[in-house]
Amino acid sequence: MPGAARRGGWVVAGLGTAAVLLAAAPLFLSSYPLTLLTQALIYAIFAMSLDILLGYTGLPSLGHAAYFGVGAYAVAILATEFRAGFWTCLVAAVAAAILAGALFGPLAIRAVGTYFLMITLALGMLVWGLAFRWVSVTKGDNGISGLERPTLGPWSFADPTAFYFLSLVTFVVSAACLVVVVRSPFGMSLMGIRESEARMRSLGYNVWLHKYLAFMLAAAFAGVAGFLWAYYNGFVSPVEVQLVTSVEALLMVALGGSGTLVGPALGAGLIVFLKNFVSVYTKRWLLILGGVYICVILFAPGGIIGALKRRPR
């Protein structure tokens, strides 16, 4: 018990230090590193949402970008065509992502293992096809441009620093909500399903319903990330729902450590900065990311957080 309390104290201290550093970042960073940090916060929400499926429920998805992209497209269409405000776009992005998860969930969770992976891949490609071909709504390959950053009452988020703080607050609120979920009896049930579905079913748990709720919950927070990404980028295209985006999210979770929430957020930051710096020197940055993923699987299957937990005391 003393060891566990000591580790818990270190975790709280580390998270508090990280929060202070993130809040003070605009005082020390120029505009370009600050935009990268904003991007990292958005992808951290996206990666944590995937971790609900992968790390806590044991459902590896290759189509998670579908919910990210659906949320982004909902914002882009409402903001450009109907001049919708902040809260309308946020609710629409989350609702659209949940609706997509509610429709796709029953199809995906009927399968297990490799079959689940392939079904999520097919569903993700279906959304990509709609984004690419439904030109009257999505503008096809040209994408939807001209998104202006939102205002909330007297506050405008057009300035990069202001939008960074919007992303930071959204990240903190999302992370707090996910922590409450994974530490609740529902979250514990998801971890039980990850370890042994048969045992949880024999104990009387509705395994299918738990998976379905986890699917929609993960989709909802992916929609939150898509909401922020649409305003951050000012442009939404089929790139947001393509396979590479889903693979990047998987890499973020694997690199940081699945089943931790902190790990995916850390992995998101590392991948964002690595991708931006490597792409400056070579167009084959996907090859580099693939090599990183192989190294993580071979030498640190538990990710960075898992490696830190296994280190000698």
Q: What confidence score (pLDDT) does residue 12 get? A: 58
> Element (H or E) spanning 191, and its range?
helix 185-195
Residue-range definition of the domain harbouring residue 81: 29-241
CA angle 83, 47, 304 (to 5 degrees): 150
pLDDT reported for residue 281: 73
Residue 96 lies in a domain: yes
Q: What is the pLDDT of residue 5?
A: 47
Q: For residue 77, is it within any domain? A: yes
Asked, for residue 120, whether it belongs to a domain, the answer is yes
CA separation for the pair 36, 269 (Å, rounded): 9
Output phi, psi for 154, to 5 deg. Answer: -80, -5
State the Cα–Cα distance between residues 255 and 2, nearest whole angstrom.
29
Number of independent structural domains in the chain = 1
For residue range 103-152, list pLDDT tens digits in order. Answer: 999 999 988 888 999 999 999 999 999 999 999 999 999 999 999 999 99
Is 306 part of any domain?
A: no
What is the spatial distance between Cα 171 and Cα 181, in angstroms, rounded to a whole number? 15
pLDDT tens digits in sequence order for the chain, 313 residues long: 454 445 545 555 666 777 788 999 998 888 889 999 999 999 999 999 999 999 999 999 999 999 999 999 999 999 999 999 999 999 999 999 999 999 999 999 988 888 999 999 999 999 999 999 999 999 999 999 999 999 998 899 999 999 999 999 999 999 999 999 999 999 999 999 999 999 999 999 999 999 999 999 999 999 999 999 999 999 999 999 999 899 999 989 999 999 989 999 999 999 998 888 877 777 777 787 778 778 877 887 888 887 777 665 5
Residue 268 lies inside a defined structural domain of this protein: no
Question: Which pLDDT value is given to residue 47?
Answer: 97
Give the number of other CB atoms < 10 A from CB of residue 67.
36
3's CB contacts (< 8 A; 6+ apart) are none
Asked if residue 35 belongs to a domain, the reply is yes
Predicted local distance difference test score (pLDDT) of residue 15: 65
Q: Is residue 286 assigned to a domain?
A: no
Beta bridge partner(s), residue 155 = 152
Is 275 domain-assigned? no
Say how many CA atoms lie within 13 Å of 195 toward its Cβ.
9
| Residue (of 246, 217, 227) closest to 64 by Cα position | 246
Q: Which of 2, 44, 310, 33 is nearest to 171 (CA)?
A: 44
